């Protein structure tokens, strides 16, 4: 069993040299929601804590689900803007793998905040502890943070407080990392691609800090529903031909254009945006075709064509009309 006395030679050389365990609390889950607090635990190559950092963030709008994160308008009104803490945040992320529970969500929220502040987050890779738990086949009843914490005997003190959630995750990540090293498990690292284009939130009627909106149960999770594609599926994309209206397109991983914008453009061109990959999927768009995500793995098993974001954006310029 690997422990603190393990020699450097016994540690997998391909493993990262440092980690930033991150948790952010937000006003909601949509593309236009904002961060209200953030915490980072910096860990060394073996998962030992080096230091930690926490900040409130003024989201410049209502705080969203106060009943979850406990941060009211009054608390956040005097907090710094994200642009004011971006440099301190960057200092703690720089050169490290971002680690989070459901890391795609935390990373996309962080990437959007950096984009709004006209900065780029110094993050090149992320590791999701949910994905690592699956790689290790941990006997968890579900993928909640509390279940991962309970498995490793880590006590939660204040759930949905960014600093305590980051502490809990750091303490649960350390034994996960060591178990992976002992068993020679390849860490499920994914590329982080900063946003270069994103959609601005609507300004009309947007509540600001100090004007608490009334939220009903679940009201902070707006559903994004698009009309059904009016065209029949013409089949799979062929590399020497254009896309055709009705084709089913799925997306996986990070994109430099915000995912919703890319999906909107696909819908406007007459394509069907699919949330999963099946035998009926015409095309998978991903910038990381070697990633072990479920969509990429399914695309490989079904023989689904795969293109990157740049190629897809080029194909969108000339989508052929549907048959008949």
> End-to-end CA distance of the chain, in Å?
65
Instruction: Check residue 218 and give its pLDDT.
Output: 38
What whole-number percentage of the chain has pLDDT above 70?
90
Strand ordering across the sheet containing 35-44 = 49-56, 35-44, 18-26, 97-100, 125-128, 189-191
- Summarised one tens digit per residue, pLDDT across range 48-105 is 999 999 999 999 999 999 999 999 999 999 999 999 999 999 999 999 999 999 999 9
Residue 42 pairs in a beta bridge with 20, 51
Q: How far is CA 45 from CA 5, 112, 242, in A?
A: 14, 28, 47
Cβ-based burial of 120 (10 A; exposed 0-12, middle 13-18, buried ≥19): middle
CA atoms of 300 and 284, how far apart (whole Å): 10
Q: Select from 269, 107, 115 the least CA-distant residue to 197.
A: 115
DSSP 171-182: HHHHHHHHHHHH
- Summarised one tens digit per residue, pLDDT across range 262-272 is 999 999 999 99
Beta strands in 45-78 (DSSP E): 49-56
Residue 23's φ and ψ, nearest 5 degrees, are -140, 135
Tokens of 182: 């002992």
**Which run of H or of E encompasses 296?**
helix 294-302
Tokens of 117: 């502040």
Instruction: Check residue 226 and give its pLDDT.
Output: 79
Residue with tokens 């406007």: 268
- What is the average pLDDT across 143-171? 97
- Summarised one tens digit per residue, pLDDT across range 124-133 is 999 999 999 9
pLDDT for residue 146 is more than 70: yes
Name the percent of the chain in helix, strand, coil, to the closest 5. Answer: 30, 15, 50
CA atoms of 180 and 143, how far apart (whole Å): 18
Q: Select from 123, 97, 129, 95 the least CA-distant residue to 110.
A: 123
- Summarised one tens digit per residue, pLDDT across range 212-257 is 444 443 334 444 677 899 999 999 999 989 999 999 999 999 999 9
Q: Write down the mean pLDDT value for the chain.
A: 90
Instruction: Check residue 220 and give its pLDDT.
Output: 41
Instruction: Check residue 70 and give its pLDDT.
Output: 96
- Summarised one tens digit per residue, pLDDT across range 36-59 is 999 999 999 999 999 999 999 999
| pTM metric for this prediction | 0.85
pLDDT class of 210 with cuts at 50, 70, 90: very low
Instruction: Check residue 311 and give its pLDDT.
Output: 97
Q: Are 23 and 162 in contact (CB under 8 A)?
A: yes
pLDDT for residue 27 is more than 90: yes
Largest CA distance in the chain: 71
């Amino acid at each position: 069993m690997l422990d603190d006395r393990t020699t450097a030679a016994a540690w997998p050389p391909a493993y990262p040299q440092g980690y930033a365990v991150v948790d952010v609390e937000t006003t909601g889950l949509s593309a236009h929601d904002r961060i209200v607090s953030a915490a980072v635990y910096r860990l060394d190559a073996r998962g030992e804590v080096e230091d930690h950092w926490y900040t409130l963030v003024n989201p410049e709008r209502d705080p969203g689900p106060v009943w979850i994160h406990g941060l009211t308008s009054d608390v956040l009104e005097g907090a710094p803007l994200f642009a004011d803490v971006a440099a301190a945040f960057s200092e703690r992320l720089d050169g490290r793998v971002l680690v989070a529970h459901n890391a795609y969500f935390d990373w996309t929220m962080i990437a959007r905040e950096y984009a709004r502040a006209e900065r780029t987050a110094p993050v090149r890779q992320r590791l999701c502890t949910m994905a690592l738990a699956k790689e290790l086949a941990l006997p968890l009843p579900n993928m909640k943070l509390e279940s991962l914490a309970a498995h490793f005997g880590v006590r939660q003190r204040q759930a949905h407080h960014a600093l305590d959630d980051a502490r809990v995750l750091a303490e649960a990540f350390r034994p996960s990392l060591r178990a992976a090293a002992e068993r020679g498990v390849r860490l499920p690292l994914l590329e982080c691609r900063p946003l270069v284009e994103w959609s601005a939130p609507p300004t009309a009627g947007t509540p600001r800090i100090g004007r608490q909106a009334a939220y009903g149960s679940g009201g902070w999770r707006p559903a994004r529903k698009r009309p059904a594609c009016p065209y029949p599926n013409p089949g799979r994309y062929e590399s020497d031909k254009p896309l055709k209206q009705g084709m089913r397109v799925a997306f996986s991983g990070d994109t430099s254009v915000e995912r919703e914008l890319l999906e909107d453009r696909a819908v406007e061109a007459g394509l069907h945006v699919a949330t999963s990959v099946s035998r009926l999927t015409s095309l998978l768009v991903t910038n990381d075709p070697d990633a072990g995500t479920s969509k990429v793995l399914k695309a490989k098993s079904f023989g689904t064509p795969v293109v990157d974001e740049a190629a897809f954006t080029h194909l969108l310029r000339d989508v052929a009309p549907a048959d008949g």
